[in-house]
Amino acid sequence: MSATEEREVESPVEVRMDKTLTYHFLRSVCWLFLKLYCRMRIEGAEKLPKSGGCVLAANHASHLDIPILSTTTLRHVAFVARDTLDESRFLSFIMRETRAVLVKRGTADRRAIRAMVDHLAVGDCVAIYPEGTRTHDGKLGELKGGALLAARMGKVPIVPIGLDGSYRLLSRHMKFPRPAKLVVRVGDPIDSSLPDAQERLLAALHELSRT
């Protein structure tokens, strides 16, 4: 997206970052399942900013990546998800109650980018999977530029997070989860204004996810 396009991004009608009862309930259920079934361990949680906007960027390997990432912090996390999820009445309710940002895949969705930036402006965490889709083979794929663009427009850091074990837990090729040890590793925040921020993010995700 060019500088001209950035300026033309539309503002959303409303930005909310409150944790609803639905958000609390779903996060608690996910945390319990991941701790008991997957023996989830979180490393480096202290590196997550305690306040202020930030982009959480993680590798995308499993159907459970959104629930997994929601358990890494007690702060509200606005997830960026494909707009096709809104076609399901149940998932539409979940997306609405968790304050998710829906994006049109394969396009420069300026309204979605504006929504991400506005969430960041009010101090929210925005979670993005820079690969844009779940991996087919468990390996980290090419990173798209949306995460870095949102972070730079919002003038916030990017926090790399590696999900190690989520592919074995419930990959795109599986219908049901199977027991797998899960480790979530949080890396040092990356200054999004750096010219090599994208390269730093890629290197960090490789190291943290062990892929």
Q: How far apart are CA 55 and CA 159, in angstroms?
A: 6
Query: Does 152 reside within a domain?
Result: yes
Q: How many domains does the chain have?
A: 1
Q: pLDDT class for 160, splitting at 50, 70, 90?
A: very high
Query: Does 113 reside within a domain?
Result: yes
Query: Does 91 reside within a domain?
Result: yes
What tens digit of pLDDT does each residue of 97-114 get? 999 998 887 666 788 889
Whether residue 143 is predicted with pLDDT greater than 60 in this model: the reply is yes
Asked if residue 168 lies in contact with residue 178, where contact means CB atoms within 8 angstroms, the answer is: yes
Q: pLDDT class for 179, splitting at 50, 70, 90?
A: confident
Mean pLDDT along residues 192-202? 98
43 burial class (0-12, 13-18, 19+ CB within 10 angstroms)? middle
- Dihedral-angle region of residue 42 (phi above 0 means left; psi in -120 to 50 means alpha; beta otherwise): beta
For residue 103, what pLDDT is reported?
87
Question: What distance lies between CA 63 and its chain's CA centroid?
Answer: 13
What tens digit of pLDDT does each residue of 75-94 get? 999 999 888 888 888 989 99
For residue 6, what pLDDT is reported?
47
- With a pLDDT cut of 90, the percent of the chain lying above it is 76
Residue with tokens 């033309």, as numbered in its chain? 8
Query: Does 144 reside within a domain?
Result: yes
> Which of 24-38, 84-98, 114-128, 178-192 shows the lowest mean pLDDT across its residues?
84-98
Share the mean pLDDT of the chain: 90
How many CA atoms, within 13 angstroms, populate the side-chain half-sphere of residue 42? Answer: 16
Query: Does 12 reside within a domain?
Result: no
Q: pLDDT class for 39, splitting at 50, 70, 90?
A: very high
For residue 83, what pLDDT is reported?
86
Whether residue 31 is predicted with pLDDT greater than 90 in this model: the reply is yes
For residue 13, what pLDDT is reported?
44
**Both tokens assigned to 150:** 């949102």
Q: How far apart are CA 53 and CA 122, in angstroms?
A: 7
Tell me, what CATH number does 44's domain have?
A: 3.40.1130.10
Angle between helices 197-209 and 146-154 in degrees, nearest 10: 120
Query: Does 182 reside within a domain?
Result: yes
**Range(s) of the domain holding residue 106:** 3-7+18-209
Side-by-side strand order, sheet with 41-43: 41-43, 183-186, 158-164, 54-58, 125-128, 77-82, 101-103
Instruction: Report which of residues 10 and 84 the model is more confident about.
Output: 84
Instruction: Please state the pTM of the whole predicted model.
Output: 0.89
Q: pLDDT class for 69, splitting at 50, 70, 90?
A: very high
Mean pLDDT along residues 140-148? 94
Query: Does 172 reside within a domain?
Result: yes
Mean pLDDT along residues 173-188? 94
Instruction: Report which of residues 172 and 9 the model is more confident about.
Output: 172
Query: Does 61 reside within a domain?
Result: yes
Nearest-Å Rg of the Cα atoms of the chain is 16
